[in-house]
Amino acid sequence: MEKAQFVQLPILRSSYQDLTKSERRIADYIIENEKNIMEQTISDIAANTGSAEITVSRFCKKLGFSGLQSLKIALAGELFTPDESIYQDIHRTDSYEALAGKIFQNINDGLQDTLKLLDFKTIEKAVAVLCKARSVAVYGFGNSATVCRDIETRFMRFGMLIHAYEDSHMQVTSASLLTAADAIIAVSHTGATIELLQSVDIAKENNVPVIAITSYVHSPLAKRADFVLHGMGREVRYRSEAVASRLVHMAIVDLLYTGISLNDTEKYINHMKKMRQAIAKRRV
């Protein structure tokens, strides 16, 4: 089983798939020696991983830190103690009570990880862009498309001109017609889907602001986006990481939704009243 599946620390998990072989060796070493890594220097880590000191330094900077010391400070707040909940896998012999406990705990752990990863200034800026956008296009495929449909359904309540596209041809058509007055929300677990990236590239040529919701902060999508909202779920053996991350991405959508509703509470309440009155007429 691939080592990446056991990466627990959010900072490392979010970037693991984008690391080189030598960088993964350093990441694996940190994970396996999380309790004593705080006492080690760049020279120690380089020697213990068969790496050059410059490789360790570049590894820290690739994760977004100025050096080893700032990385260690961030890691210190994430390390698990023995009595804290740990990664929980699912077994065929588990009762439904045990299944529920493990699944719900893993969802909770993913949300708590995301709290450590999110940049709330970026959330604030993304909300401001969405509030003033003439129209919003939402792009995603597969599991991410379910998040996109949720965005469309919920944000419509604000009276927004919003549409979710999960067809590649419709995405590029939409992207080619958008302008800087519009906005795009691109949702992708890996941030590496070619068709999605092509649509974003077309939109960027038209100066359309792009908000990315993704699991990997160093993904091609994250590098293209103006605003990166970064969250990642915990994986278990019988549920893929992508499916777990879908729930985390929906939680990020909830954060955007709430932010927009608070931006103009009176307008939001009026829209909700109109919507409920219309729906009430369709009930017995």
CA–CA gap between residue 117 and residue 98 (Å, rounded): 29
Are the beta carbons of 129 and 211 closer than 8 angstroms? yes
Q: What is the pLDDT of residue 196?
A: 95
Write the class of the CATH domain 3-76. mainly alpha
Q: What is the pLDDT of residue 228?
A: 95
Category of 51 on φ-ψ map: left (φ > 0), alpha (ψ -120 to 50) or beta: beta
Which CATH architecture group holds 120-279? 3-Layer(aba) Sandwich (3.40)
Are the beta carbons of 30 and 75 closer than 8 angstroms? yes
Where exactly are the structural domains of the chain?
A: 3-76, 120-279
Q: What is the pLDDT of residue 77?
A: 58
- The beta strand positions in 11-116, using DSSP E, are none
One digit per residue, the tens of pLDDT, for the chain of length 284 reads 344 334 456 767 777 878 899 999 999 898 888 777 877 888 889 999 999 999 999 898 888 777 887 787 667 655 544 334 444 567 788 899 988 888 888 888 888 888 888 999 999 999 999 999 999 999 999 889 999 999 999 999 888 999 999 999 999 999 999 999 999 999 998 888 899 999 999 999 999 999 999 988 878 899 999 999 988 766 555 555 556 788 899 999 999 999 999 988 887 788 788 878 888 878 77
The alpha carbons of the chain give a radius of gyration, in whole angstroms, of 21
Q: What is the pLDDT of residue 263?
A: 87
In the chain, the amino acid numbered 161 is L
Q: What is the pLDDT of residue 244?
A: 73
| pTM, 2 dp | 0.70
For 261, 266, 272, 273, the CA distances from 269, given in Å and listed in that order, are 9, 5, 5, 6
Q: What is the pLDDT of residue 145?
A: 94
